[in-house]
Structure 1
Amino acid sequence: MYLYHFGIKELPFTLTPNTSYFFGLPSHNEAIEVLLTALKTGEGFIKVTGEVGTGKTLICRKLLNELPDNFVAAYIPNPYLTPSELRRAVANELNVELTEMSDQQEFTQRIQQKLIDFHRQNKGVVLIIDESQALPVESIEALRLFTNLETESRKLLQVVLFGQPELNEKLNLPELRQLKQRVTFSYNLKLMDTDQLYQYVKHRMHVAGYQGEEIFDLHCCKMLFKASKGTPRIVNILCHKSLMLAYGEGQNKVSSAHVKHAIEDTESAVKLNLKPLLVLSSLVITCLLLVLLYFIFFRAL
C-alpha cells in the first residue's frame, strides 16, 4: 500500500489492539495503575468502562502482559454466554476438566479445588472479561457466585470487567445490587484532547518506523480531533485514509484536504461544519458583484 512511499515497516493505524503501539495516554496509564493496585490488594470485582473505541481491549491486553508472575489469568473476550457456558469457559481457561454432564455443584467443587491449589502455590487468579456489558444478567449473577470462593483473608478469584457505559446501566438493575456492592475499584476511560491526539499520531508513526519530517501537522490534528472527539479508534481510521489519499497524490505530507476527504468518507466521524464559511464566502461574492455592477452602471452614465 503506502509503506514504501512513507518509509515505514508496517501500517501504523490498524484497528488491531497491538500493545507495541501502546502510547500511554494519561487515562490509560491511570486505568492500568488502578487495576494493578486493586489486584495486589486482593479485591473481588474491578470495573473499567469507556465509550466504544477508547482502547479498552488494548488496556486489557496490556494488563495481561504486565500481570505479576504470581498471578494466573483467565481471559474471556466474548462474554455473551449462558451461566453454563460461562462456567465451562472459566474452567477451560484454568485447565479444569469437566464432563459433559457436570452440573453447577460439580463445577463449583472442581474450580474451588483448582483455586485452592493455586493459592497454596502463592498465586492469585484473575478472571478478565472483555465487552462485559454483553453478559446476560443470569451469567453476571453466576459470576458473583464464583467470587464467593475465598479464604479467611483473600478472595480465591478476582474479576476484572471491561465494558461500555451500558455495563453501568446493567449493574444498576435491582437484581444485581449484590454484585454492584462488590465492585470496590472502578475507572472510566477519558477521550484524548488535541495535544494528546497530536502526540498519539506522532507516536504511532514513529513505532511504525517513520523517521522523516512531520506528516500530520497540528492543523490536521485539530481537524482530526473535531471529527473524532478524541476517540482513538476513529483517529486511526481517519489517519489511515488520509495517508492513502496522500499516497494516491504522490504527496509526502498529509494536507487538510486529505483529512477533510477522509472525514467525509467515514460514517463514524463528526462532519466538520463548513456552513458558516460558505455563508461568508457567499456574502463576499455578493458584495463584490454589487460593487462591480455599481461601477459598470455609473461608467455607462
Structure 2
Amino acid sequence: MSEVEAAAVDAENPPKPKRTVRRKKKPLESGGPLYLGHFGLHEAPFGITPDTGFIYATRSHQEGINTLLVALKSGEGFIKITGEVGTGKTLLCRRLLRTLEDEHCVTAYLPNPGLSPETLLRSVADEIGLNAEAGSDQYQLLKSLNEALMRFAIAGKTVVVLLDEAQAIPIEALETLRLLSNLETEKRKLIQIVMFGQPELDSHLANPAIRQLRQRIAFAFRLGGMQRDELHQYLTHRLRQAGLVAGELFADDAVRALFAASRGTPRLINILANKCLLMVFGEGGQLVRARHVRAAARDTEGAHRPWIWW
C-alpha cells in the first residue's frame, strides 16, 4: 500500500481540527475527492481532465494562444503546436476552440485523428454540419466539402479544423489534409488546419512523402512548462475556482518542492497536488508541506526526485 493510499485509509475517522478556511455555500461535486468538505471546496481543484473553467494563462500558454490567433488571422493554411506530454496542449486546443466559437468561426474539432483518409474527410464534414452521402469516395467528399466551404466563405465565415494528438495521424490522412488545404479562392484559403501534437509530430512530418505539407506550415510554436514564479499563482487560482475563499493550502516549502518534482509540467503538478491534499486530509491537517510532496513524488510515475530531498 502506497503512502497516499495509507493516508486515505487513516482518514476513515479523521480528527476534526479547528477550521481556518471559510467555505462557499455550494453543493459538493458528486463523486469528487474525499477531501473536498475538509478543505472547504465544492469541486476537485486538480483534475487531470482538461477543463477550460480552470484555465490559468501561463506565459507559455498565453504566447501560444496569441500565436494561434495571429496565424489564423493571417489566413495561412497549416499551423503546428507541439509540446511534451502534460504541458497542456489539449487545454490550449479547447481554449482556442472556445475563442473561435465566440468569434463566430466554423470549427471542426477532431480529438482522435488516427483515421483513414475518407473517415477523416467524413469527420470534418460532420463537424461543420455537412451530411455527406453514404458511399461517397474521396473525390466526391472533397467536392462536397469545397462547395460547403465556398458557402461559408460567401457568408463571411472562417472554417478552422483543430486536430489533437496529431502525431497519430497516418501519413495517407496527412496527404488528404494537404489536398483539403488546397481549396481556396483567388484571395483566401477556404479552410485552415491547426495541428496539436507531441514532439514526435515533427519526425512524423519529416517523412519525404508529405514534404509538400511540411512546406505549407506557416506558423509553429513549442508549448513549454510552467515557470517557477508562476506556480504559486497557479495553485491559488485553481483552489479559488474550486471554492476556497481564503487562506493557503500549500506552504512555501511545498510549492518549491512541487516545482522541483514536476519541473513545471501542469499535469504532474495536478497529480502531485491532488495526492498531497489527500495525505493532509488523512492526517486531519490543513496545510501541505514539503514532506507531503516528497511522499507524493515517490508514489508518482514520472515525478522528479532530487537526491537532496532525502
Give the Cα separation in 2 of the matches to 1:141 and 1:257.
Answer: 52
| 1:80 aligned counterpart, secondary structure | coil
Amino acid at match of 1:212: A
Amino acid at match of 2:262: S
Contact preservation (8 Å) 2:107, 2:159: yes
Contact preservation (8 Å) 1:46, 1:160: yes
TM-score by length of 1: 0.89
Q: 1:239 aligns with which of 265, 268, 273?
A: 273
In structure 1, the gaps of 5 or more residues are: 278-301
Alignment size in residue pairs: 276
> What is the CA-CA distance between 1:214 and the residue it aligns to?
1.6
- Report the equivalent of 1:114: 148
In structure 2, the gaps of 5 or more residues are: 1-33
Contact preservation (8 Å) 1:47, 1:186: yes
> What is the CA-CA distance between 1:267 and the residue it aligns to?
1.3
Q: Max radius of gyration: which structure?
A: 1
| 1:63 aligned counterpart, secondary structure | helix
Contact preservation (8 Å) 1:216, 1:254: yes
Contact preservation (8 Å) 2:255, 2:290: no
Amino acid at match of 2:197: G
- Report the equivalent of 2:91: 58
Give the Cα separation in 1 of the matches to 2:126 and 2:191.
Answer: 15
Q: 1:9 aligns with which of 20, 42, 49?
A: 42
Give the Cα separation in 2 of the matches to 1:217 and 1:135.
Answer: 43
Give the Cα separation in 1 of the matches to 2:180 and 2:193.
Answer: 9
Residue deviations 1:210-231 (CA, integer Å, cap 9, x gap): 1232211221111111111110
Give the Cα separation in 1 of the matches to 2:39 and 2:255.
Answer: 18
Amino acid at match of 1:201: L
- Report the equivalent of 1:188: 222
- Report the equivalent of 2:134: 100
Contact preservation (8 Å) 2:183, 2:189: yes
Q: Does 1:35 align with 2:68?
A: yes
- Report the equivalent of 1:48: 81
Give the Cα separation in 1 of the matches to 2:288 and 2:110.
Answer: 39
TM-score by length of 2: 0.87
- Give me the CA root mean square deviation: 1.2
- Report the equivalent of 2:120: 86
Give the Cα separation in 2 of the matches to 1:180 and 1:222.
Answer: 41
- Report the equivalent of 2:253: 219
| 2:307 aligned counterpart, secondary structure | coil
Structural mapping, 1:249-260, within 5 Å: 249-260=283-294
Amino acid at match of 1:119: A
Give the Cα separation in 2 of the matches to 1:212 and 1:24.
Answer: 22
Percent of residue pairs bearing the same amino acid type: 48
The structure where helix makes up a greater share of residues is 1
Q: Quick one: higher RCO (CA 8 Å, sep 6+), 1 or 2?
A: 2
> What is the CA-CA distance between 1:100 and the residue it aligns to?
2.7
| 1:213 aligned counterpart, secondary structure | coil
Amino acid at match of 1:21: F
Q: 1:19 aligns with which of 36, 45, 52?
A: 52
| 1:133 aligned counterpart, secondary structure | helix
Q: Does 1:77 align with 2:124?
A: no
Amino acid at match of 2:153: H
Give the Cα separation in 1 of the matches to 2:263 and 2:201.
Answer: 22
Residue deviations 1:48-67 (CA, integer Å, cap 9, x gap): 11000000111111111111
Q: 2:170 aligns with which of 136, 144, 147?
A: 136
Give every structure 1 segment of 4 or more consecutive aligned residues whose post-TM-superposition deviation is greater than 4 Å.
Answer: none
Give the Cα separation in 1 of the matches to 2:291 and 2:246.
Answer: 21
